[in-house]
Amino acid sequence: MAISLMNDKRLPTERLTVVSYVIVGVISLLLFGFWKLQIIDSDRYAQMAERNRVRSIPIIAPRGSMSCCCVMLPNRLRSSCRRSPTAWA
82 and 72 Cβ atoms separated by less than 8 Å:
no
Number of H helices, E strands in the chain: 3, 2
Q: Between 3 and 56, where is the model more confident?
A: 56
Predicted pLDDT at 6 = 57
Give the residue extent of every domain in the chain. Answer: 1-39
Statement: the pTM of the whole predicted model exceeds 0.75: no
Residue 73: other Cβ atoms inside 10 A: 14
Predicted pLDDT at 85 = 61
Per-residue pLDDT reduced to its tens digit, 21-65: 999 999 999 999 999 999 999 999 999 888 887 777 788 777 665
List beta partners, residue 73.
66
48 and 42 Cβ atoms separated by less than 8 Å:
no
64 and 75 Cβ atoms separated by less than 8 Å:
yes
